[in-house]
Chain A
Amino acid sequence: MNAPSRLQPFIAPGLFIAPAAIALILTTAVPMVDAVLLSLQRWNAMTPAVWTGFDNYVRLAQDETFFRALWHTFYFTVCTVILQTILPLLIASLLNSGIRGSTVFRTLYFMPVIISLAISGLLWAMLFEPNFGAINSLLRAMGLGAYTPLWLAGTNSVMPSVIIVSVWQSLGFYLVIFFAALQGVPKDLYEAATLDGAGAWSRFMNVTVPTIRPVILIVVVLNTINGIKVFDQIWVMTAGGPNYASATLGTYLYSIAFGAMGASNSRLGYAAAIAIVILVLSIVVSLIQIRIGRRRDLDAQIEV
């Protein structure tokens, strides 16, 4: 077979793929390469960029605030992956068990999903306001005035506060995913387990979880990626404050690149270096999760 005829089978698929591939290259690959190059330069957008090699990465390695932001990102990601996977799964299982009003509950849980992150951030900032916000007012009315947290204003309470908002906002989305997956679990598996004497918890752990494991993996990966790149809600509620107590890699990158309420200098090369770190982290963590998921699937197949 000569070369042109060897290529023959790829021509038609190639032509079909080409438009999307070109669009992807122009809108994703080129900016990504540009960002990598920018991360190797010093540039404030006003004066010509200066090539600095790996200087931005060396500075990142010495930047205390960057590591605080990295820790907050890790903290946020771990908490949201756990809460935004387990809670929706449990609630979806409950709703799938045939309880009355399941549709109403699903709708109620899903409603926060359709609110924009910025709007929900503003609403929660009002609810969390320490002096007259609804939550502290309620606590005071219940005689718990001594236990009113500062919420977004406290350096210790700000991260749990933004995690609460994230869980509130995302729960419905993952719940719907899990609910759809649970609908596909064959009923006879539950019946067989019940005949074998399995209780509700045992059925959940030994039938439900293994059957929908691929969906759980997708939810975990989605939560992880969303956690690593979290930005909008936190920016709207705290702008990463007080004093970087809720800064994540996303908010730190934004404040370095663009400033906000008054910052005068843009450090676009440094910001690009942070962006590359976020990209690498997302890829590495996702690959690990997918690999673990595949290995478990393989183990499960071997067991079968």
Chain B
Amino acid sequence: MKRLKAIAASAVLTAAAFPALADTTLHVMSWQPAYVAGTDYWDKTVAGFEAENPGVKVESNFVAFGQYLPTLTAMIAAGSLPDVFNGGTKTGELGRSGHLVNFKDVYDAAFFDQFYAGPLRQYTFDDKPYGLPDMAQIFGVFANDRIMKEVGVEVPNTWDELIADVPKFKAAGYIPLSWGNLTRNTCPDFFLPLIAQYGGDVYALDDHTAPGLSWDSKPVVDALDLLQRLSKAGVFPEGINGIDDPQSRQLAYQGRAAMYFGGSWTPGIFAQDGTKDWLDNYSVHKVPALTPDGIHFTGDGAGEAWSVNADGPNKDLALKFIAYLYRPDVYNWRAKGLQSFPSMKSAVDQIDNPKVRTMISWIATDSANHILFGPGSWDAVSNVCQSALDGSISPADGAKKIEADVMAARSN
């Protein structure tokens, strides 16, 4: 009787467990609009994994960037994180609180060597990589060569040259350098590498644990001062805090601006919606430096990095999916499809656009952090950035305010 009971119990358990094993859904979430059903290389990626893992279904969920972090916050609060997802700027806090897998526990050094250092560094906290960069990025200045020739100036090598050229641009009716800061996330992209140009360490500032290091230190004040001098000199569009990215690109497309500040993903956007004049005439250059022989520190890193939910029911499968996503042959499909800066060195050959390849070549020498992960850092910097641009705060007061706001956020 006992034996019969045992057989019956194991049959029930097997019946209960078998459908779960045979029909597992892996929940994937990102803000990359191409990573959805209907994009050939993503379909190929998903189909490949499903074929290698019978009974597994990959569910790809896209959430627009503007709503992504609020959605993620709600999921964290509800304890319902997806299996694989972009942690964005919450990666550090999520990892430190134990919700993300530390990839160092899973993959060996050779795996990490495949990535460019900067983008991987960005998602490594306390020496633990909680995110793996999907596509990398680096910023530069895109110039309309036709306008530059008409105005009679070269693309500036230093910030002082740029300021000195402003009257020539203005006299010819052009905005020297276009970008928009309505959504507040572009100013940190522009400003944070300036801190590196002045010798500051943005990673350390963001971490904010080194003794004596604070946001009101000299490199930050100097960088805010430079940002404000550029703004006051008329380098940027009027009302830059009221212009969003697409509008600032239009200024370049419509021949109203001589140059445009943007990331390595923008050539892909130019190809989709740029005017013929812009596409025929634009070239890409490093952002200016402080001195003629100075380093042109510019933002590098990765906006999107894949993380794995450490508390999820499909953790092992999710790690298998990550290993699959970064298999060079599989990664190449995405790199080829997106034509953006790949985070894996082996995929550079997949990039056809020579301008993107030029930008990729800068990562070894000119990269600097431009994304903040620490509690309160991003809000504090982006708000003071806006004030520096509209001249409503002095550089010294701005730096003090960043420090005060970061400390207030971390104490609450």
Q: Which of B92, B93, B389 contacts A44 (CB 8 A)?
A: B93
Count of chain A residues near B, Cβ 8 A = 42
Taking A154-B239, A238-B182 as contacts, is the C-beta distance between A125 and B76 under 8 angstroms? no
Does A243 lie at the interface of the complex (its beta carbon under 8 Å from any beta carbon of B)?
A: yes
Contact indicator B70/A132 (Cβ below 8 Å): no
Most buried by B among A56, A152, A261, A266: A261
A155 to B391, CA, bound (A): 11
Binary contact track A228-266/B, C-beta < 8 Å → 1, others 0: 000000000011011110000000001101111111111
A150-B238, A153-B242, A267-B412 given; A45·B89 CB < 8 A? no
Q: Would you call B89 and A150 a contact (CB within 8 A)?
A: no
With A255-B379, A270-B412 already in contact, the answer to whether A131 and B70 are too (CB < 8 A) is no
Q: Which residue of A lies closest to B75 (CB)?
A: A45
B369 CB, min distance to chain A CBs, angstroms: 13
User: Contacts A241-B184, A264-B90 hold; do A153 and B383 have CB atoms under 8 A apart?
Assistant: no
Cβ-defined contact, B378 with A264, below 8 A: yes
Within 8 A of B (CB), among A178-213: none
9-residue interface stretch from B136-144, B216-224, B244-252, B333-341: B244-252
Tell me the dominant secondary structure on chain B's binding face: helix
Known: A45-B77, A131-B251, A242-B387. A262 touches B371 (CB 8 A): yes
Q: Is B279 an interface residue, CB under 8 A from the partner?
A: no
Which residues on B sit within 8 Å (CB–CB) of A150? 238-239, 242
Are A153 and B73 within 8 A (Cβ)?
no
Given contacts A59-B412, A150-B238, A242-B386, contact A261 B66 (CB under 8 A): yes
Could you list which residues of chain A lie within 8 angstroms of chain B, going by C-beta atoms?
42, 44-47, 56, 59, 125-126, 128-132, 150-155, 158, 238-239, 241-244, 254-255, 257-268, 270
Using Cβ atoms and an 8 Å threshold, which residues of chain A touch B384?
Answer: 243
Q: Are B247 and A155 in touch, CB under 8 angstroms?
A: no
B237 in contact (CB, < 8 A): yes
> Would you give the shortest CB distance from A183 to chain B, in whole angstroms?
42
Chain A positions within 8 Å of B240 at CB level: 153
**In the complex, what distance in Å separates the CA atom of A258 from the CA atom of B256?**
36
Residues of chain B at the chain A interface (Cβ within 8 Å): 65-66, 69-70, 73-74, 76-77, 88-90, 92-94, 97, 99, 175, 182-185, 188, 237-244, 247, 250-251, 254, 256, 371-379, 382-384, 386-387, 389-390, 392-393, 409, 412
Minimum CB–CB distance for B356 against chain A, Å: 23
Complex Cα–Cα for A242 and B377 (A): 17
Of the A-B pairs whose beta carbons lie under 8 Å apart in the complex, a sample of 30, sorted by A's number, is A45-B76, A46-B93, A59-B412, A129-B239, A131-B237, A131-B238, A131-B243, A131-B256, A132-B251, A153-B239, A153-B241, A153-B243, A153-B390, A155-B392, A241-B182, A241-B184, A242-B241, A243-B386, A243-B387, A258-B74, A259-B378, A261-B184, A261-B382, A262-B69, A262-B89, A262-B188, A262-B371, A262-B372, A262-B378, A264-B373
How far, in angstroms, from A243 to B77 measured CA to CA in the complex?
28
The distance from the CB of A53 to the nearest CB of chain B, in whole angstroms, is 14
- Asked whether A47 lies within 8 Å of B242 as measured between CB atoms, the reply is no
Shortest distance from the beta carbon of B129 to any chain A beta carbon, whole Å: 17
Report chain B residues within 8 Å CB of A263: 69, 89, 378-379
Leading 4 A-B pairs by shortest Cβ distance = A153-B242, A153-B239, A130-B239, A265-B375
